[in-house]
Amino acid sequence: MTGLTLGPLLFHWPRAKRRDFYARIANEAPVDCVHLGEVVCSKREPFSAPDLPEIAERLRAGGKQVVLSTLALVTSRREVQAIRESCDAGLLIEANDVSSLRALAGRPHVIGPLLNIFNEDSLAYAARNGAIRIVPPVEVTAAGLRTLLAHAGGMEVEVQVFGRQTLSVSARCYHARSHGLHKDNCRHVCEGEPDGLPVATLDGRSILAVNGTQTMSHGYVVLLREMAALAAWGVHRFRLSPQDVDMVAVARLARATLDRTIDAEAATAAVQSLIGDVPLINGYLHGREGLAWVSRSL
Amino acid sequence: MNGPYLELVCPAGTPAALRAAIAAGADTIYCGFRDATNARNYPGLNFDRDEMASGIAHAHAHGCKVLVAINTFPRPGEAAVWRAAVDDAASFGADAAILADIGMMDYASRRHPTLRLHLSVQAGASNPLALDFYRENFGIRRAVLPRVLEVREIADLVARMQMEAEVFAFGSLGTMAEGRCVLSSYLTGRSPTSDGVCAPAEHVSYEETDGRMSVRLGGVTMNCFSRHEPASYPTPCKARLRVRGIASYIFDEPVGLNAIGILPQLKSAGVTALKIEGRQRSRAYVVQVIRAFRTALDALAAGAPVPPVDLSGVVEGHRETLGAYRKGWR
């Protein structure tokens, strides 16, 4: 059966909100794999790390596979040490920085969407290095995905089908900058925007969302209408990236779409009503600019 | 080793720029083939096969090295084009290939074991563990460090990285971690990582209304200028955008990097080579920047004071920055 994954929570949520979120996911969400771990900023980690073992245990008790996602940009000695420790923690790891590939060599691991590993040569290398699953970068097109699947060998391929797409990673914190602060004295202001900080053009079009050091799409990628084709091509798993909406409802809609107990158009409309006035996007998969919405099917 | 004070690695977007850069005092030239295998894949730029072969021969005849940038990531099914670029760089006698893709490093290290390999900034290796991965698996000899580190962090990294370090010294550079930004393709469909283009000119449009000029990329407004303001190029990470209703350069101002004032600090940090950005810039620009750095480096090598030099006329937005090298930038 095609799997559903809940990706790592990319936003800095208050501790109680985070605990409640995962309690509900563990008990109610029809996903079989959940990613934990801080991907965006190591300064957030002290807030989530203490609860991680208990949340992981709860998810396992709920029948979910738990994967630990690593930090996307690793620079300080402390961050390097954290990568080593994570990779030795005995969990399945999603590598989001090349440093993790070194630490994980020869052991089963997941290649995250923030690594540029997607062509036949780098895929072959990743598989030899121990990768068992790969999440291609957001830019992948339908044609590229089919070729990638043909070269994935024994690796599972997972595609993000819901949530904001990460468009860039930086050393600079734009959340802090928007408050006239620096990353070093940021006061964790990113906690104030649990779904990202909206960024609009000068003529008022919402276009991006800042999430600390990451910049994301304003629109949510929604590929419910494309999932059946992707599954038929051999995509093994679909990723839902947590947003500040009813993710259990999103997961149920995705599961029902996969199980064909709901029509994909109806599921897409239901997702739109869950997320309010945020636009849907799917341009990259259709070979267009990422922010486009293409209404024809694959 | 009694090498230069710091090796000056200079851009050549065309064969004419290569010759001009060598004459102006470059120690080393970097350039790419005329296709998506290099990260400055713009119309009218870069080298066909014959031009690359003769460019390398010309450089070698003048005691100058040539590094061939094959520093983008082939899309699924496209790796053969990149492999051919590696093969040709090796057969033309390139002094090194600058690579970003793990598959290409794997290919080059096995197929051309004597070809020196440099790690492109696009590979985003910002810590010793990542650099160890590239060195141990592919024999990488030098890394171009991403512009995410302060000078003191560069020193700390160089001490632990067991290969040469090259850093950017001058040019128009984005704010995001290199190789990890797709803002351009989000707006235009054309990708920095796989097409080698950021904010391509054919997707840029200008519209004047009520005395104000709107500049758009992929139809999305990146900035708006009054008649008296200089208009900057609509690179997405240098866009003026609105956050909480307030217009600002939320990512970075349209400014250019100039590290000419901190060359001794970079030398002390253990850096081997300085990179000048600008394969897409004019020959006159390249010559002016190289002459300035050549003069500064020669003075430093001789223990003499560095004569003052004004590069503000050629730096992006006519405003200079030390970028991430300066504490507090992040």
Q: Is A121 in contact with B220 (Cβ distance < 8 A)?
A: no
Span A81-93, average pLDDT: 93
pLDDT tens per residue across span B223-234: 999 988 888 899
Per-residue confidence (pLDDT) for residue B162, from 0 to 100: 94
Neighbours of B307 (CB within 10 A): 9
Per-residue confidence (pLDDT) for residue B1, from 0 to 100: 40
Helices (H), chain A: 15-28, 45-48, 52-61, 77-87, 98-104, 120-129, 142-150, 174-178, 227-233, 247-258, 264-275
Among A12-16, A124-128, B63-67, B281-285, the minimum mean pLDDT is found in B281-285
Please tell me the CATH superfamily of domain B7-174+255-325, with its number: Aldolase class I (3.20.20.70)
Span A252-260, average pLDDT: 97
- For chain A, the straight-line distance linking the first and the last C-alpha, in angstroms and rounded, comes to 21
Window 114-133 of B: residues touching A by CB (8 A cutoff) are 122-130, 132-133
Q: How far apart are CA A258 and CA A249, in angstroms?
A: 14
Q: How far apart are CA A223 and CA B17, in angstroms?
A: 47
Q: Give percent of chain A above pLDDT 90.
A: 98
Measured between CB atoms, does B201 come within 8 Å of chain A? Answer: no
- Pinpoint the residues of chain B covered by CATH 3.20.20.70: 7-174+255-325
Low-confidence ranges of chain B (pLDDT < 70): 1-3
Q: How far apart are CA B263 and CA A127, in angstroms?
A: 42
Contact yes or no for A30/A1 (Cβ under 8 A): no
Q: How far apart are CA B294 and CA B297, in angstroms?
A: 5
As given in the structure block, the two tokens for residue A276 are 């309010």
Q: How far apart are CA A236 and CA A5, in angstroms?
A: 10
Q: Give the DSSP letter of residue A141.
A: -
Q: How far apart are CA B255 and CA B172, in angstroms?
A: 7
CA pseudo-torsion sign B217, B221, B222, B227: positive
Domains and CATH numbers, chain A: 3-164+216-281 (3.20.20.70)
Query: Could you tell me which of A122, A95, A124 has the C-alpha nearest to residue A107?
Result: A95
As given in the structure block, the two tokens for residue A85 are 């420790």
Question: ipTM for the complex?
Answer: 0.97
Q: Is B76 in contact with A198 (Cβ distance < 8 A)?
A: no
Query: Could you tell me which of B242, B253, B206, B250 has the C-alpha nearest to residue B225?
Result: B206
Contacts of B78 in chain A (CB under 8 A): 119
Q: How far apart are CA A110 and CA A133, in angstroms?
A: 5
HSE-CB of B284 using CA atoms within 13 angstroms: 3
- E strands, B89-197, are 96-99, 117-119, 142-144, 164-171
Q: Is A289 in contact with B185 (Cβ distance < 8 A)?
A: yes
| Average pLDDT taken over every residue of chain A | 96
Place of tokens 């993000």: A160
Measured between CB atoms, does B168 come within 8 Å of chain A? Answer: no
To the nearest 5 percent, what fractions of chain A are helix, strand and coil? 40, 20, 40
CA distance B330 to chain A (A): 4
Element containing residue A163 per DSSP (H, E):
strand A156-169
CA pseudo-torsion sign A167, A168, A174, A175: positive
**Nearest-CA residue of chain A relative to B221?**
A201
Per-residue confidence (pLDDT) for residue B3, from 0 to 100: 64
Q: What are phi and psi of A136, to 5 degrees?
A: -65, 155
CA distances from B9 to B30, B110, B149 (A): 7, 26, 20
Contacts of A172 in chain B (CB under 8 A): 175, 251-252, 324, 329-330
As given in the structure block, the two tokens for residue B249 are 């350069």
Give the mutation candidate from A149, A289, A294 for the B interface (greatest B CB count, under 10 A). A289
Q: Is B149 in contact with A118 (Cβ distance < 8 A)?
A: no
Q: How far apart are CA B150 and CA B303, in angstroms?
A: 25
Contact yes or no for B6/B296 (Cβ under 8 A): no
Q: How far apart are CA A191 and CA A171, in angstroms?
A: 18
Q: How far apart are CA B283 and CA B95, in angstroms?
A: 23
Q: Is A99 in contact with B104 (Cβ distance < 8 A)?
A: no
Query: Could you tell me which of B275, B273, B321, B265 has the C-alpha nearest to residue B151?
Result: B265
Q: How far apart are CA A78 and CA A42, in angstroms?
A: 9
Query: Could you tell me which of B66, B73, B67 has the C-alpha nearest to residue B123?
Result: B73
Q: Is A75 in contact with B126 (Cβ distance < 8 A)?
A: yes
Contacts of A102 in chain B (CB under 8 A): 129-130, 132-133, 136
Q: Which residue has the higher pLDDT, B43 or A44?
A: A44
pLDDT band at A67 (very low <50, low <70, confident <90, very high): very high
CA distance B195 to chain A (A): 11
Query: Could you tell me which of A217, A211, A218, A216 has the C-alpha nearest to residue A173?
Result: A211
CA distances from A94 to A37, A43, A103, A242 (A): 9, 20, 12, 16
